[in-house]
Structure 1
């Protein structure tokens, strides 16, 4: 696969979800994504390195476009959550491995470049030290020539002392130069390691920040969805409560109306029964009074007949007395003759 080959981002339509988010259902997409890793851009050129970044980005986009509908699909398949989640995890691990495999040549190339730069710096420092050594050697050579000429003028003991001092000075100079060289190489190595470490840390920080941002966005999205679902549920429950309360109020009002009507009917019935009782009591009282009056009247008639008055005359007398007694009572007068009942 050449650098110029155009690769399209893999997408999944919602209707495909039930058929692919199953065990090994995403293998066909992994095969397509692995095709990206088969391309081998030239890491020694900027175009090649940019192409490597594009391929890795394409893997990331494809992973996201396959993972996101899968996450949405999982929300509606609670019984199938675990298999789909395991498949998505396997898929993302594979994608990460593919991405890392794609990025590996560039990372190795960059690490090699850093190593070469460090080695080059060390080599330059070595050349500088060697140049200084050559210059020092030339000075020493000239000094030796001068010393040799002077030595010819000095005695043997002086020559030996001078030679010993010169040898010691030469030894110290060489030791000093070796130490400078060692320190330069060590410093170049430390600088290269620190630079590589700094690059790795910055890259890790960028990836961690990006991952954190994605996780925060996902959590925020889930929280919004959960809040909407919760509010929807609460609204539905409120509607049901209001409906239930309205039905209960209507039923209570109905029962209250029935009870009021029953009380009204009971009160009317009680009044009717009381009125009937009153009428009956009054009728009974009148009947008893009439019967009592009849008895008294019969007793009066009996007394009169015993006195020699005929029964008919006695009856007329009683009727006349009762009539006069009633008329007097009606006019508020006291009759001279009356029958006490």
Structure 2
């Protein structure tokens, strides 16, 4: 039986010679034969042919395992009286074959893992460069300048191996994006600074106008108070003059009455004549008094007209001041509206730029998904956006 097994190969296994093969220790020769075949040479992992040879040897182990296992399984079904012996033998054989396969392929597996780790390191490095141009929020010009300085320090050398060209290209593209963004943010911040300066100037001018208005109002109050004091003095003088005249008239009347009384006592006979003269004198006095009252009423009317005219002049000046204040406030509102419009337009430009960048990014991803390289996809989008491709446009 031993001599028979020595001339039987895996390809010779059949249902006829199965009883002589699937016995305790009967499969060891096939394991040793396969092991000798796959371990008899050491392929070179540094060459694609060597790596392919290792994969082929591992596949040979799997194929040989199947070639021995399948007939054994078929034979086992027919040998219900020996299931434990055959199953144990097959299990041991399969385990050793799997271990042999894994051990045979292990150098290739280790090399592939190391190679993948090396490539992943370069891919991650390139992605890190790209991420420098990605911001969660709009950065300041100083922040962009700092990132540019950091990126310029990234060395592009032979350490990038086969990724050298891609790393150099990505660095240049990222620097170009960051420098364009730096120019935009610098211009935007300059515009904002100018807006702040204009607002400050407008506020300063408004304050100067308010101060001037306060000075004018103070001067006007002082002038009105001086005129009122002067008018009060004139009214007091007129009142004193009227009172003095009334007192003189009363003294004159008293003297006349005394004289009349003396004359009545001296010349009773001429009383009627004297009485007539007295009535005439009294009539004259009454006429003079009424005339004085008319003059005083006319003077009062004239003073009232002057005060009314002065009040109308004051009201006119107040209305002019109010109109000037409304004009000043309207000018400030116009300046603020102009500044707000400039700010709104700047915000709209930023939003439109972000919107277009989002649509261009979606188009770029679609081109790449369709099989184009990233560089070609970017060139295509640029040409379409510049309307250099007839009958094709990007809808924003």
Do these two structures clear the TM 0.5 threshold for a shared fold by scoring above it? Answer: no
Which structure is richer in relative contact order (CA contacts within 8 A, separation 6 or more)?
A: 1
Q: Which has the larger radius of gyration?
A: 1
Q: TM-score per shorter chain, which class?
A: 0.3 to 0.5
TM-score w.r.t. length of structure 1: 0.36
TM-score w.r.t. length of structure 2: 0.32
